[in-house]
């Protein structure tokens, strides 16, 4: 039985009508699964962005009367900031344990966004303080910002992989690199047309850039890969 190569996907298939039909169905399934993934990931990022904006707004001092301002003592603010730092550190540990057994979740991605906003506020308050204890807290916040952002990208990659799997696509998604800023998608049916769809129709680069990824690597798991710098 004769074989030919599909001009779009470069896949070798039989020339029978049935083979072409099955191949066309598979290509359409890949495309529509990708669209489902994009829509779901878009919801995650929109929620995270909105949550981050709300957090930043609530953390910004508002105009108030002298009596209202007097109610917030520096000691209270420092104590609350210290508590937030401890909660974030505990959450980092908890998330690490979770990822060893389960996929990441959209709620974890959104929580990380909230934590980053709070840490940025604490860093701004105490990073340049003349008091040793306060300056140390600012330093801890700075360190945690890096750790939380890296873990957020790892969680995002894990959550994305689960979405692909649930959509019927066996795609391995990981956050790689020393800073976890390289998003790698490994799929045996990865092809140039599929990469094009991810980039220009699904807009995966726009989504990844929001979370601090510097590049996306698409691979078929063998010798062929496509790298997109963000």
How many angstroms separate the first and last alpha carbons of the chain? 45
Does residue 16 fall inside a structural domain? yes
What is the distance between the alpha carbons of residues 189 and 33, in angstroms, rounded to a whole number? 13
Average pLDDT over residues 59-73: 47
Does residue 143 fall inside a structural domain? yes
Does residue 32 fall inside a structural domain? yes
Does residue 186 fall inside a structural domain? yes
Could you tell me the residue range of the domain that residue 50 belongs to? 3-58+72-229
Does residue 216 fall inside a structural domain? yes
Does residue 64 fall inside a structural domain? no
Total domains present in the chain:
1
Buried b (16+ CB within 10 A) or exposed e, 100-128: eeebbbbebbbbbbbbbbbbbbbbebbee
Q: What pTM was computed for the model?
A: 0.74
CA 136 to chain centre: 29
Query: What is the reported pLDDT for 168?
Result: 84
Buried b (16+ CB within 10 A) or exposed e, 203-223: ebbebbeebbbebbbbbeeee
Q: Express each pLDDT in 92-117 by its tens digit.
A: 999 999 999 999 998 999 999 999 99
Q: Considering the chain, what percentage of its residues have pLDDT values greater than 70?
A: 67
Q: Express each pLDDT in 79-92 by its tens digit.
A: 999 999 999 999 99
**Residue 30 burial (C-beta neighbours within 10 Å; 0-12, 13-18, 19+):** buried
Does residue 63 fall inside a structural domain? no
Confidence class of residue 29 from pLDDT cuts 50, 70 and 90?
A: low
Does residue 182 fall inside a structural domain? yes
- For residue 154, count other CB atoms closer than 10 A to its CB: 19
């Amino acid at each position: 039985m004769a074989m030919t190569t599909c001009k779009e996907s470069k896949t070798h298939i039989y020339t029978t009508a049935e083979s072409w039909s099955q191949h066309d169905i598979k290509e359409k399934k890949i495309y529509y699964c990708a669209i489902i993934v994009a829509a779901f990931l878009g919801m995650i990022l929109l929620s995270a962005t909105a949550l981050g904006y709300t957090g930043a707004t609530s953390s910004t001092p508002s105009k108030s009367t002298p009596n209202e301002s007097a109610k917030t003592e520096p000691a209270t603010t420092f104590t609350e900031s210290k508590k937030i730092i401890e909660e974030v550190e505990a959450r980092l540990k908890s998330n690490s344990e979770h990822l060893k057994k389960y996929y990441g979740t959209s709620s974890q991605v959104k929580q990380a966004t909230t934590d980053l906003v709070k840490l940025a506020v604490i860093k701004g308050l105490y990073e340049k303080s003349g008091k040793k204890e306060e300056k140390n807290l600012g330093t801890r916040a700075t360190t945690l910002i890096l750790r939380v952002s890296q873990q957020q990208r790892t969680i995002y990659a894990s959550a994305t992989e689960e979405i692909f799997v649930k959509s019927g696509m066996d795609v391995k998604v990981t956050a790689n690199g020393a800073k976890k800023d390289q998003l790698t998608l490994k799929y045996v049916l990865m092809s140039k047309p599929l990469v094009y769809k991810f980039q220009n129709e699904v807009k995966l680069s726009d989504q990844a850039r929001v979370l601090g990824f510097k590049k996306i690597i698409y691979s078929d798991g063998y010798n062929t890969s496509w790298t997109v710098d963000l």
